[in-house]
Structure 1
Amino acid sequence: MKIKKKYCGHVIIVGKANVGKSTLLNNIIGKKISIVSRKKNTTQSNITGIKTEDNYQSIYIDTPGVVFDKNNNQMKHHKNNFYQTTQIATLIIFIIDRIDWTIHDEIILNEIKKTKIPILIIINKIDKISNKIILLPFINFLKKKIDFIEILPISAKKISNLILLKNIIKSYLPENCHIYPECYITTNSDFFTVSEIIREQLILFLGDELPSIIKVEIESFKKKEKIALYIKAIIWVKNVRQKSIVIGHNGEKIKKISMISRNNIEKKFYIKTHLVLWVKDKN
């Protein structure tokens, strides 16, 4: 009997903050594994998503939005995670926001060019471009930058061109054994997943009142047989003022955040959940 060849590789997703990297990852995987919001720097750590289709396994790494120094427009290398991930990459997906090419995009491109790894550029949010005719000259402009393997206009939210994107990625996967079982869709731990569910609600409820770099620490995570989940989490803020913002008047905000987070955890883990949130300041 002929053994089927298997293909597997790492695909790194890079770009500025809020260009739609996490939305794209969630739609490729078909499940929400990375939280999304309109707030910059929502993604704080590399998120790994795994998509196995027949003999192809693509391992996607969603990197946080590239951080720049406000004073000199230089990349803050210690805060940008994609440097380490490119060492194992088969392909780099570079996402840009519509036809808004900035100096930061130029800097990111110049950096990833140095890796000599094939680059696929995605022009995202094309659903927000009313006059699609302007796309063609912009694509020609990009073609002069580097020999991209493909320049693909998409709408990550509306999943346009997703099948084409997957097929392009598959064509670049090297012949390799699969690293993860077919049922795996992420390497996120339960602790990390819960902390992200809580942090997503903090971002949604607090909006611009607090920075998105707010930290959530899972202090305890206990499962009582298959009956219930008991979780204690600490929300770390910088000072007393931020603490009062998170708690809200008479504790109204923290109660709502806790209630919705608990409901979302129950939906994720299919188990009754008891959630206790504490807000602490670092001072």
Structure 2
Amino acid sequence: MTHEHDPSDARDGAPVLPHDDFRCGTVALAGRPNVGKSTLLNALIGFRLSIVSPRPQTTRHRILGINTTEAGQILYVDTPGLHRGAKRAMNRSLNRAARSAISDVDVAVQVIEAGRWTDEDEAVYAALGEQDTPRLLAINKVDLSKDKGALLPFVAKLAETHAFDEIHYVSALKEKGLAELEKAILARLPVQPPIYGEDEVTDRSERFLAAEMVREQLMLRLDQELPYATTVEIEQFSDRPDGVAEIHAVIWVERDGQKAIVIGQGGAQLKAIGSAARRHMERLFERKVFLKLWVKVREGWVDDESMLKKFGYTD
């Protein structure tokens, strides 16, 4: 997908011409759920690509975000959070997708939450250790740490027991520490020409991104576990002669009671979900959008491998 960037973006100036030291490669952003990988991806590419919510496991797919500068082209891969207790087929699919995404990259960046190192963080570290690639540690959410000094012994202990090439303090939300992290990544990428055009921001289609925009609203607006029982399928995506993108999407749930909640009293919830998703699509796609939503029930889809494949949950 290509996109017109803000005029202040360096990518919108003179064409980026590869030079003798131009670097290009893939970088995995890996971590347990809810450490801020998607927010970090969006901040690093300067574009709101990956959907974000406060809930763990918001990211269900491998998302490629492309950042091209005069120095090089970094292909960031946002991965689903690696997690334990993957009892359902969906959770196992997310773990497979995460492991697949980190298996063939030039640099791995493990993202953790400032001051916290859990068993799941340790599992991510072990998974990254299976690959012979440089490993950087990005300690995210440092803006939330009231006592910055308390981080020093935490980091010192981590550095003693874990082999990271470099450790970086960042705030994805406040966009702090990102230039230093990017510089460290670029230094470890191979010298080679760019793979994508300088105006491309992802390899994902508008159809895929439209489904993600709807799912983001489900994650933000529905209570408790209900968002995890939902997925979105785009049945139609076409550009009308008047320049409007017409999109028909189905929200799948597991039970009739869930369908009623998604629709809401008098259809109010579904209307709110659709309106918010449409506004995000119009900004992303840079044209008017006509969005039609339906809610359908498919019992047990979260545990049905064939349905997961149908909905795009593959490695």
**Which of 166, 173, 178 is residue 182 of structure 2 equivalent to?**
166
Q: 2: distance between equivalents of 1:264 and 1:106? A: 36
CA-to-partner distance for each residue in 1:169-204, whole Å, 9 max, x for gaps?
Answer: 111111112110111111111111100111111111
Amino acid at match of 1:15: G
CA displacement at 1:55 relative to structure 2:
3.9
Residues 67, 76 of structure 1: 8 Å contact kept: no
Taking the TM superposition and a 5 Å limit, the aligned residue runs for 1:111-130 are: 111-130=127-146
User: Does 1:146 find its partner at 2:159?
Assistant: no
Residue 68 of structure 2 is aligned to residue 52 of structure 1: yes
Q: Is the 8 A contact 1:226 1:271 kept in 2?
A: no
CA contact (8 A) 1:17 1:64 kept: yes
1:34 maps to which residue? Answer: 50
TM-score (norm 1): 0.93
3-state SS of the aligned residue for 2:281? helix
Asked if 1:281 is matched to 2:297, the reply is yes
CA contact (8 A) 2:139 2:168 kept: yes
1:53 positional shift: 0.5
Q: Give the superposition deviation at 1:241.
A: 0.7
Aligned residue identity for 1:110: A
Cα deviation digits, residues 50-80 of structure 1 (max 9, x gap): 0111140110000001121179xxx958733
One-letter code of the match for 1:273? V
Runs in 1 of length 4+ with deviation above 6 angstroms?
Answer: none
Structure 1 residue 88: Cα displacement: 2.3
String of CA shifts for 1:138-166, please: whole Å, max 9, x gaps: 11111112331111111110111111111
What is the identity, as a one-letter code, of the residue corresponding to 2:115?
A: I
Which amino acid counterpart does residue 211 of structure 2 have in structure 1? S
The aligned runs of 1:248-263 (5 Å cut-off) are: 248-263=264-279
Identity of aligned residues (%): 37
Q: CA deviation at 1:6?
A: 2.3
Match of 2:29 in 1: 13
How many residue pairs end up in the alignment?
Answer: 279
User: Where does structure 1 lack aligned partners over 5 or more consecutive residues?
Assistant: none
Q: How far off is 1:116 after superposition? A: 2.1
How far did residue 235 of structure 1 move? Answer: 0.2
Q: Quick one: which of 114, 121, 127 aligns to 1:105? A: 121
More strand by share: 1
